[in-house]
Amino acid sequence: MIITRRTALIGASTLLAGCDRLNESASFRSLTAQAERANFTIQRSLQDRMALAREFAPEQRSRVFRANGTRLPQGEDYARHAVEKFANWRLKVDGLVARPLSLSMAELRAMPARTQITRHDCVEGWSAIGQWTGAPLKLLLDAAGLKPTARFLVFHCADTMRSGVPYYESIDLIDALHPQTILAWGLNGALLDVAHGAPVRLRVERQLGYKHAKYVERIEAVSDLASVYGGKGGYWEDSTGYEWYAGI
């Protein structure tokens, strides 16, 4: 058996081209996408619903908390809100709820708050530790009264992405009702700054970074995600094929 450099190179490039073709194949990708379903099912069955993400000591916080994604939402509306220090920002809770809410930031900050020092894990691989303060999402949902048909919460954001569509994300009720899932308005003892999602962002501590929607304007309770924007449950899910649950 003689393997020349030439045949090895031809073999290797055929293999590479084959992988790229498989990568573009819808049927093959629907197979690999099953792995996320498996991750979801198995992780959820191993996890206690209330299992908390680790909380750290103040001295373990990152010296600089890296900001990622949108760092400054474009448009006059957001710029005006920033100048007004978000005095006229409203956070709406609507959709499949009995009593839709529209809260000012003062009202949100007056609600019972939870403070937690947690690790933020970006899908790219880095981690930063910061102290977040905010109202548990469960308190807002209890106040609004979720209808029995509600299964997901969609977070509509004020930042518009490259393709002109607004950022959005969604979570299911297990994550929504988790005690560490908060609408954070404070980071490291100060009011949340623009780069990290001012005036309010989601913290959903058992998920990767892109699930933690920033610049949240509206929380919509829905029965399924298919009719929301591209139907896959989030901006990155719709546009680039990131997983809705991911899990790792």
Partner 1 sequence: MMDAHPSGMFRHALATRLWHWANAVVVIVMLMSGATISNAHRFLYWGQKGAMPEEAWLRVPRWPGWMTLPSHYDLSSAREWHLAFAWVLAFGLGAYLAASLVNGHVQRDLTLGRAGSHYHTLQKLVYCGLLFGMVPLLIGTGLALSPGMNAAWPWLLDLFGGRQSARTIHFLLAGGMAAFLVGHVALVLVSGPAKLLRGMLWGGEGGQ
Contact with partner 1 (CB under 8 A): which of 7, 11, 25, 29? Answer: 29
Q: In the bound complex, what is the minimum distance in angstroms from residue 3's beta carbon to partner 1?
A: 7
Q: Which range touches partner 1 (CB under 8 A), out of 77-85, 109-117, 126-134, 143-151?
A: 126-134
Is residue 64 close enough to count as binding partner 1 by CB under 8 A? yes
- Of the candidates 91, 88, 132, the residue with the CA atom closest to the CA atom of residue 108: 91
CA dist 207 and 181 (Å) reads: 10
CA–CA separation, 200 vs 168, rounded Å? 14
Determine, following the binding rule CB under 8 A, whether residue 241 of this chain makes contact with partner 1.
yes
Name the minimum Å distance from CB 29 to partner 1.
Answer: 7
Q: Does 101 bind partner 1 (CB under 8 A)?
A: no
Q: Is the bond into 199 cis (omega within 30 degrees of 0)?
A: yes
- Between strands 166-172 and 182-187, the pairing is unpaired
186 lines the binding site for partner 1 (CB under 8 A) = no
214 part of the interface to partner 1, by CB under 8 A: no
If one asks whether residue 48 binds partner 1 (CB under 8 A), the answer comes out as yes
- Report the residue from 59, 99, 125, 163 that binds partner 1 according to the rule CB under 8 A: 125
Exposed / middle / buried, residue 17 (Cβ in 10 Å: 0-12, 13-18, 19+): exposed
Contact 181, 142 (CB under 8 A): no
| Residue 16 touches partner 1, criterion: CB under 8 A | yes
Using CB under 8 A as the binding rule, whether residue 206 contacts partner 1 is answered as yes
Least distance in angstroms from the C-beta of 65 to partner 1: 8
CA pair distance 205, 134, nearest whole angstrom: 13
Virtual torsion, Cα 203, 201, 103, 237, nearest 10 deg: -90
Binding site for partner 1 (CB under 8 A): 1, 3, 12-13, 16, 19-20, 23, 29, 31-36, 38-39, 43, 46-48, 51-54, 56, 60, 62, 64-66, 119, 121-129, 205-208, 236, 240-243, 246-248
